Amino acid sequence: MASVHAPFPLLAVLREFLPEPLEPDGNDVYFEWMKMPDSSGFGDYEESGCGIAALYNGQKCNYSVMMYLDDEPPTTGGREIWGFPKKYGLPRLKTIHDTLTGTLHYDDERVALGTMVYKQKPLDPVKTVEGMKKLNVNLKFIPDVDGGPKVAQLVGYHLQDIELKFAFTGEARLHLVPHANCRLADLPVRKILYGTHLCADLTLPYGRVLHDYLG
């Protein structure tokens, strides 16, 4: 997995992307590419997307804003079970000589390009694993047969059984292209804080309902 972290200056805009009762935790927005070559039940696929550092009742969490995958089973399963905001796209993460490179195409057009110096500086493995255990939050919305809401929940989960292989940080860059149906550039890049590159085995468990909007 590779991710790029960038500060976003307009907290009012971040709040538009965060469902209540979530609040921005500073102005950190992250963009990531993930390569899953051996996922139980889902097989070999890649995904990319962005999220916002947030607070849930004072607890730090990561909120998923948009995600794009190249495989239907994890796209559908992710949406219907955990509420991941997943759509079909063509993400790719690969190493080209001395550069870790992530690309994302949507409807045959490239909408994102991320690059990072390859394995520039090792990260503390203990702190990295602790960061991976942070609360993750999705907005799960499923409409009823009449078009009204059937399920409207804030879903939380924690990654489990994390076995970290390596973790690095380093110089990174990110370029986003505005697109009407792939709106990643609605959170535009202002400044790059850092990039991270890690490899790990882990388990995605079932989630729990943090907030039921229909309850």
Active site residues: 86
Burial of 37 (0-12, 13-18, 19+ CB in 10 A): exposed
48's CB contacts (< 8 A; 6+ apart) are: 31, 32, 33, 34, 67, 68, 89, 91, 93, 102, 104, 112
Residue 61, CA distances (Å) to 14, 21, 164 in order: 14, 12, 20
Residue 204 burial (CB count, 10 A)? 19
CB 212 within 8 A of CB 28: no
Give, in order, the Cα–Cα distances in Å from 212 to each of 60, 140, 141, 151: 20, 10, 10, 8
